[in-house]
Structure 1
Amino acid sequence: MATDRTTITANLKTLVRRGLVRIQGDAQDRRIRRVMLSDEGHTLLGEAYPLWQRAQDALGQQLGKIDQDAFRAAVNALSA
């Protein structure tokens, strides 16, 4: 994932405030933090996934016969 640390931190703070994730320190190594979905986060992910899948399917239909893996690789290369 090509995202800098400050962006990840800011996004995680928002998700924590909304109760969608929780951050837990490691008992043996204080430098390690584990990010976990809360119950509400799991519920929201379950609701969002079918919508994401429909969008992926619609994109596949729009792209038609072109090599979709090559297309996605090209898009990823542009954003790197």
Structure 2
Amino acid sequence: MTSSYLNKTSAAETAIGFDYQFYYCFLLMLGIESDQTITFEDKDDIAIELNNGNIVLIQTKHTLQTNYQSDPINLTERDHDLW
């Protein structure tokens, strides 16, 4: 197999996004209060139900894109990944 074939068919970048989502949810679980609940891939990527009944919905995104200085690029409201 050629490296170009592997690059075209690799799911590594997608897998990183799912792993990031899981680990971020786990991190949030460590800090929630006893009367709060957290769900993974239910109402949104992550949802936290507060003790007052409000629900915080969280969308997680991970990117490997960098700018010309090799710094990570933050997502903006115009990125197609958000819509």
Fold conserved between structures, TM > 0.5: no
Q: TM-score scaled by structure 2? A: 0.33
Query: Higher helix fraction: Structure 1 or Structure 2?
Result: 1
Q: TM-score scaled by structure 1? A: 0.34
Q: Which has the larger radius of gyration?
A: 1
